[in-house]
Amino acid sequence: MKRRIVVVICTLALTLGLAVPVSAATTPVSCVERTETNSRYLRFDSVSLINSLRTGKSNSCFDLWQSLLTWLNKDCNAQPETPNKPEVPVEPETPIEPEIPAEPETPVEPETPIEPETPVEPETPVEPETPVEPETPVEPETPVEVTPPVETPDESTEQGDTFSAYAQQVLVLVNEQRAANGLSPLTLSSGLSTVAQAKAQDMKDNKYFSHTSPTYGSPFDMMKTYGITYRAAGENIAMGYATPQAVVNGWMNSSGHRANILNANYTQMGIGYVESGNYWCQMFIG
């Protein structure tokens, strides 16, 4: 603001100076010589200028103009200092967050092996009852072939008497076993005993030990040949047993023979025995 006032005053002074004659009073304008930082310049004294204008006294126009122009050039040529722009604050770098360590994959646990089911043991098959007319007779699992000590029979007893006595003893022993198991007793059939005796003799003559005869076929075929009728039938055979007690014990110790003796469907029994070789045949019908 002050500088503008000075400029206005100077402008007025210049205007008035033009009207002052060269021969006017020569009161010198105060000029001050000043040295600062090795620079020399003239400072225009505005107060002296105004006083000179008022009194009509002034230096030569040349000195007046030189003083005024020097002062104006100094102020006008001075370039305003450009204020330093504030430095743009450098944004701090965003700190790099450490990578989150990847969690290790949970190891896949192996599947628990499925334990195999314990195999169910099959139930012991129940042997079916002898059919009314089975195609194959009930054979023992293992033929009774134990050879007991040979007992010398009473020489005074004839073969017929021995057979009859043995047949009765076998019948008694078999019925004792049936009674012990709550079964009704069997009766001795003479017709069936004839068939059983023929079978025992056939085994001795043809030297075989089997339910199937090379002469008569199966026991059931043989019964039919002899005219025996039945609804259920079975056969036990043995060899080497010299007494009724021994042969019945041998049959009872065999599951297949035991099943025939204790079959509730049977009602009659026939016995055949050949002393030479001790061949036994037991037949059942019901």
**Residue 29, Cβ density class (10 Å: 0-12 exposed, 13-18 middle, ≥19 buried):** buried
pLDDT in tens, 73-110: 555 554 555 555 556 555 656 555 555 555 556 554 54
**Which residue shows structure tokens 């604050």?**
89
Residue 156 has pLDDT above 70, yes or no: no
Q: Which residues contact 28 (CB under 8 A, 6 or more apart)?
A: 59, 63
Number of domains forming the structure of the chain: 2
The verdict on residue 90 lying in a domain is no
Among 89-93, 238-242, 258-262, the minimum mean pLDDT is found in 89-93
Tell me the C-alpha distance between 184 and 176, whole Å: 10
The verdict on residue 207 lying in a domain is yes
**Residue-number span of the structural domain to which 36 is assigned:** 2-76
pLDDT in tens, 133-147: 444 454 444 344 433
The verdict on residue 91 lying in a domain is no
Confidence band of 259 (pLDDT split at 50, 70, 90)? very high
Q: Which residues contact 241 (CB under 8 A, 6 or more apart)?
A: 144, 146, 148, 247, 250, 278, 280
Q: Which residues contact 277 (CB under 8 A, 6 or more apart)?
A: 204, 239, 240
The verdict on residue 120 lying in a domain is no
Q: Which of 28, 53, 76 is at the close of a domain?
A: 76
Q: Are 281 and 199 in contact (CB under 8 A)?
A: yes
Q: Which of 28, 48, 76 is at the close of a domain?
A: 76
Tell me the C-alpha distance between 55 and 27, whole Å: 9
Quick one: what percent of the chain has pLDDT higher than 70?
Answer: 44
Helices (H), 78-206: 159-180, 190-206
Over the chain, what is the mean pLDDT? 70
If asked whether residues 165 and 271 sit together in one domain, one would say yes
The verdict on residue 169 lying in a domain is yes
Confidence band of 164 (pLDDT split at 50, 70, 90)? confident
Confidence band of 19 (pLDDT split at 50, 70, 90)? very low
**Residue 31, Cβ density class (10 Å: 0-12 exposed, 13-18 middle, ≥19 buried):** middle
The verdict on residue 142 lying in a domain is no
pLDDT at 43: 47
Q: Which of 76, 95, 112 is at the close of a domain?
A: 76
Among 19-23, 102-106, 159-163, 242-246, the minimum mean pLDDT is found in 19-23
The structure tokens listed for 190 are 């003479």
If asked whether residues 168 and 263 sit together in one domain, one would say yes
